[in-house]
Amino acid sequence: MAGEPQDDCLFCKIVAGHVPATIVRETETTVAFRDINPQAPTHVLIIPRAHYKDAAALATAEPALAADLLCEAQAVADEEKLDSYRVVFNTGAGAGQTVFHTHAHVLGGRGLEWPPG
């Protein structure tokens, strides 16, 4: 069921404290932690505590929670002292999503080319 923790979801296990992560911020609705395979000097993932498979599902079901993720992206950028940064939501395997629990990547600390590759 949408929003409910999934037993086979890595990010649900991080939220529950069953899998370790380097957590940088937590709110009532979100958890932010460092990516284990960083693509920039700052690479933080922000996830909702509730399980939704991707950003589209989250935005449809709980737009306020989707907004929480974006607010947390700014908070992470502020704490990391990033003057500029990128927020990325990969939606679907073809776009590079490997964990099917909504997550925003906050990337910064180096120049980021466009278009991304």
Q: How far apart are CA 55 and CA 110, in angstroms?
A: 25
Whether residue 51 lies in the annotated active site: no
Element (H, E) at 42: strand 42-48
Bridge-based pairing state of the strands 104-108 and 42-48: antiparallel
Cα–Cα distances in Å, from 68 out to 32, 75, 94? 12, 10, 26
Residue 31: count of CB within 10 angstroms of its CB: 21
Give me the catalytic one of 51, 101, 103, 105. 103
Q: Give the active site residues.
A: 103
